[in-house]
Structure 1
Amino acid sequence: MPERLENRLVNKSIEAFILGIEIYNKPTIKYRVEGFSFFICNAWELLLKAYLVKCKGDDSIYYSDNPDRTLSLNRCIKDVFTNDKDPLRINLETIIDLRNISTHFITEEYEQIYIPLFQSCVLNYSNKLADFFNIDISTHIPQNFLTLSINIDEITETTIKAKYPRQIADKILKATKEINRLSSEHGPRFSISITHDLHLTKNKKHASAEFRLSESAEDAAFIIKDIRDPKETHKYTTGKCVDILNKWIERDGLAFQSLSPAKGKDNTFNAYHFRLFTDFYNLKSDIKYCYEFNLHSQPTFTYSQATINLIYSEIKKDPENIIQHLKDKINKS
């Protein structure tokens, strides 16, 4: 029996997506902006066509006045994401513009400008693949590969004008200004800033590199505390974490079981469950997961994306019994 068109399109879409990720994260490839933009657009086009076939049938991906020609990516976007103010749609259309100009004009600075859009686009694709076809992209590529590698310097107007002729410098600066404006307007579904933070640890199991201090070293080194805005790194309240986890549980159809479920909500994750996780894993004592504000008599706590990821990965392992197991272990300790 021949494979259904919908499935062929989805499988090709996932392959194009993975190719884009691999190209971007490979340090020896110089044209990774162009390569990524090409393959991520191809992945979206195939995914949206598969979704149209699923919803409307095989003929829906062809132009009515030209049945031999399939719809363009721009047309697919308009047919599926009908709200032209949707940040996801604006993100995609902006990357399409980059793809269209990459064969004519591109500089290394474009990576610095577009990397927040690329990262958002990767996560948007993962979410829609799950929403449309109930496919978890982490079954095809490890979750940590979904964070794009970055090796960039700050773009300054002075540097750009000194490095490039006026016409090229103007294009770069104009693009930078426009992306910054759109990012401030549309939030994380349009762009996600990427940062790589270094932390000191005495536990070798948690270290990716080792060093030692020496009084006899020729060059002095200084350990400094990095300054980070917790409103950006730890922006989730308990309530927001609970909301996101419930959406993910529903999205993936997990058979989550509550200890004392409210009537009619047997599989609802709540604040009590969240506290079980934070207590058992001692998350409030680890800055990677939790930030404590002491502005008032009672401290308040906010959480990072890593907290949500950790809790969900544990829920997925045993959704029916995880809460009872946590409670039992906490009571024994």
Structure 2
Amino acid sequence: MKINKTYQSLLDKSINSMLSAIEIYNKPDFKYREETFAILTINSWELLFKARILKLSKYNMKSIYQLEAKKKKNGEKSKLMQPKLNRAKNPMTISLAESIYRLRAKNETLSLNLIKSLFALIELRDNAIHFHNDSEIEKEIQELGFACIKNFMELIKKWEPKVNLSNYNFYLMPLAYVDSKIEANAILTDEVKNYLNYLKKKVSETDGEDLDFSVAIGIDINFKKNTTLEGIGMRYDSDGVPINLSEEDITKKYPLTYNEIVQKSRKRYKDFKQNSDFHSIMREIKKEDKFAHNRKLDPKSSKSQIKTFFNPNVWQELDKHYSK
């Protein structure tokens, strides 16, 4: 099947723009880190949305142009529309906000969490001149950045499942040795305070039922000295770093019960049935440490009953078997 060159170019540039944003953010010393990340990621999303609109419009270029009414010879406006031209006399393309509107007009469903996350980044981009690249907002912006990258990968997988993102490193370096007192002691400008209030408002409006897309992803790093071998050693990847989890950590990592998964599956999937097929799938899921953990109801008793709890990543596995 022949691929439209403009569509492919927009898609490739979108991915490359996101990779550039991540690469710059992860540099050990970069003085305009958060602002540049916001500018490049918004550009990446805009290109991705335009590529999608173009594909849904059977590659009609007018679908991504800003249009204006033609003028008649007498100066009156015609009902016919034409592309609006920039100073170089080239057609002007639509903005990110307009691309969201046009996608919805084509019955393309976009997560509200995703849209709120994007507009929080747009605010950062538009107000970048007011921010000083200190430690004032880096944690909040990184939480926004984590969600931005996760959402981007989710949408690429949904719209273009043939694109293999495993060849790229889509991650932000975690904050190293974050002092919990920084936020409390930081001297914030009025502009920064306004932006943080705006960002917190967006996060507070998060749709908890939307499990695929996020407004922001929280960062909580704890370093604990321990002289015992308590906790569970985990390794999701053969080359990964081992992580020890306490009982308290396990509750956070595996918050879902079997019954909760059943109830949420009824809302999440249109073809879900709690039958032998589902139970068979769950038996396989229970075998994976990254999805499930068998926990004693009474950790101090050797005869205690065992109950299985599940990580939210279980939805990625169930998505392979059911239609959302």
Q: TM-score, normalised by structure 1?
A: 0.64
Whether 1:301 and 2:308 are equivalent positions in the alignment is yes
1:28 aligns with 2:29: yes
Q: 1:194 to 1:136 in 2, by over 3 A?
A: farther
- Which deviations, in whole Å up to 9, do the C-alpha atoms of 1:173-217 show, x marking residues without a partner? 3433332332232056211113456678599x88849xxxxxxxx
Task: State the secondary structure of the residue aligned to 1:154.
Answer: coil
Secondary structure of the corresponding residue to residue 270 of structure 1? helix
Q: Between Structure 1 and Structure 2, which shows a larger proportion of strand residues?
A: 2
Q: Which amino acid aligns with 1:74?
A: A
Q: Which residue is 2:64 aligned to? A: 61
Structure 2 partner of 1:71: 94
In the alignment, which residue of structure 2 is the partner of 1:120? 147
Find the partner of 1:180 among 192, 200, 211.
200
**Would the aligned equivalents of 1:52 and 1:61 in 2 still touch at CA under 8 Å?**
yes
How many Å apart are 1:73 and its aligned residue?
1.7
- The DSSP-based 3-state class of the residue aligned with 2:49 is helix
Question: Is 1:105 aligned to residue 131 of structure 2?
Answer: yes
Q: Specify the alignment match of 2:174 in structure 1.
A: 149
Q: Which residue of 2 aligns with 1:189?
A: 214
2:103 aligned to which of 73, 80, 95: 80
**Do 2:117 and 2:202's aligned partners in 1 also have CA atoms closer than 8 Å?**
no
Matches within 5 A, 1:193-208: 193-196=218-221, 208=241
- In structure 1, C-alpha distance between the alignment counterparts of 2:26 and 2:277, rounded to whole Å: 35
Cα distance, 1:290–1:124 mapped onto 2, change above 3 Å: same
CA contact (8 A) 2:15 2:44 kept: yes
- Name the CA distance, whole Å, in 2 between partners of 1:147 and 1:271: 37
Cα distance in 2 for partners of 1:273, 1:122 equals 29
Q: Find the counterpart in structure 2 of residue 43 from structure 1.
A: 44
Match of 1:160 in 2: 186
**Partners of 2:53 and 2:63 within 8 A in 1:** yes
- For residues 111 and 240 of structure 2, the distance between their equivalents in structure 1, rounded to whole angstroms, comes to 43
User: How well do the aligned residues superpose, as a CA RMSD in angstroms?
Assistant: 4.3
Question: Percent of pairs identical after alignment?
Answer: 22
What amino acid sits opposite 1:276 in the alignment? E
Q: Does the 8 Å CA contact 1:24/1:33 hold for their aligned counterparts?
A: yes
Q: C-alpha separation between the residues in 2 aligned to 1:88 and 1:4?
A: 28
Residues 34, 133 of structure 2: 8 Å contact kept? no
Cα distance in 2 for partners of 1:58, 1:269 equals 46
Q: Kindly tell me: are residues 208 and 4 of structure 1, through their superposed partners in 2, closer, same or farther at Cα, counting changes over 3 Å?
A: closer
Task: Decide which moves more: 86-95 or 71-80.
Answer: 71-80
**Take 1:49 and 1:129, find their aligned partners in 2: how far apart are those partners?**
13
Give the 3 Å change call, closer, same or farther, for CA 63–201 of structure 1 in structure 2.
Answer: closer
Shift of 1:92: 0.4
Cα distance 1:72–1:181, how it changes in 2: closer, same or farther (>3 A)? closer
| Aligned partners of 1:23 and 1:32 also within 8 Å | yes
Equivalent position SS for 2:295: strand
Match of 2:228 in 1: none
1:276 is aligned to 284
- Identify if the C-alpha distance between structure 1 residues 36 and 201 changes in structure 2 by more than 3 Å, giving closer, same or farther: same
More helix by share: 1
Counterpart residue identity of residue 178, structure 1: Y
Contact 1:126-1:136 within 8 A present in 2 as well:
no
1:46 deviation in Å?
0.5
Which consecutive unaligned segments of at least 5 residues does structure 1 have? 210-222, 251-261, 320-333
Compute the displacement of 1:95 (Å): 0.3
Cα separation, 2, equivalents of 1:128 and 1:200: 33
Equivalent residue, structure 1, for 2:295: 292
Secondary structure at 1:69 match in 2: coil
Equivalent position of 1:328 in the other structure: none
How far 1:120 sits from its partner (Å)?
1.1
Equivalents in 2 of 1:126, 1:132: separation in Å? Answer: 10
Counterpart code for 1:274: M
Higher mean displacement: 107-116 or 122-131 = 107-116
Shift, 1:273, TM fit: 2.1
Which residues of structure 2 form unaligned runs of 5+?
69-83, 86-90, 224-230, 299-303
- TM-score scaled to structure 2, two decimals? 0.66
Cα distance between partner residues in 2 of 1:200 and 1:207? 15
Task: Show CA shifts across 1:292-326 (max 9, x none).
Answer: 3738x9654322246667x68xx99xx9xxxxxxx
